[in-house]
């Protein structure tokens, strides 16, 4: 049976392609989703791609993932820097988690340089643009092998 992974995207990532192209590039959210589904299919992973702008909804998605998915890739976006609730939910997941950021958060404003989740995830990818999602999917496949 294929391993199942979920890619969770936080606030404002639905507006990729429109928001701050200098940081996030020109790929739209729909194109990103398509690219991730294609790569996952190639690697025999079943994938769900999710996005919410609402903190509590993201907590619910993370909680629901416990029984449904073998691994998680998460770009918590701005909640990376603020949300203890998302951190606590991730800590309960107990399976591989990859933290992802499109931009290099350590090269940006000081408030972005602190991640509340880095110390509880399996590993992270940042600053590699939309390609980071592809690298995260490949890494997750290897982690789950």
26-34, 71-79, 83-91, 137-145 -> range binding ligand DQA (CB under 6 A) = 71-79
d(CA 62, CA 56): 10
d(CA 39, CA 45): 9
Query: What is the footprint of ligand DQA within residues 9-28 (CB under 6 A)?
Result: 12
Active-site residue 101, yes or no?
yes
Pick from 87, 103, 116, 136: which binds ligand DQA (CB under 6 A)? 103
| Of 29, 81, 101, 106, catalytic | 101
Beta-bridged to residue 45, according to DSSP, are: 3
Pick from 40, 75, 83, 141: which binds ligand DQA (CB under 6 A)? 75
Calculate the CA dihedral of residues 35, 41, 42, 44 and round it to 10 degrees.
Answer: 150
Pick from 37, 50, 78, 135: which binds ligand DQA (CB under 6 A)? 78
Helix (H) or strand (E) holding 61: helix 55-68
């Amino acid at each position: 049976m294929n391993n199942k992974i979920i890619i969770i995207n936080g606030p404002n990532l639905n507006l990729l392609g429109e928001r701050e192209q200098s940081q996030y590039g020109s790929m739209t959210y729909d194109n990103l989703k398509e690219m991730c589904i294609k790569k996952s299919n190639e690697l025999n992973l079943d994938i769900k791609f999710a996005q919410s702008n609402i903190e509590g909804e993201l907590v619910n998605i993370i909680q629901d993932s416990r029984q449904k998915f073998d691994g998680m890739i998460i770009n918590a976006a701005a909640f990376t820097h603020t949300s203890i609730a998302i951190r606590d939910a991730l800590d309960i997941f107990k399976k591989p988690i990859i933290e992802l950021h499109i931009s290099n958060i350590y090269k940006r404003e000081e408030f972005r340089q602190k991640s509340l989740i880095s110390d509880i995830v399996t590993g992270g990818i940042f600053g590699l643009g939309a390609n980071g999602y592809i690298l995260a999917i490949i890494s997750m496949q290897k982690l789950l092998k």
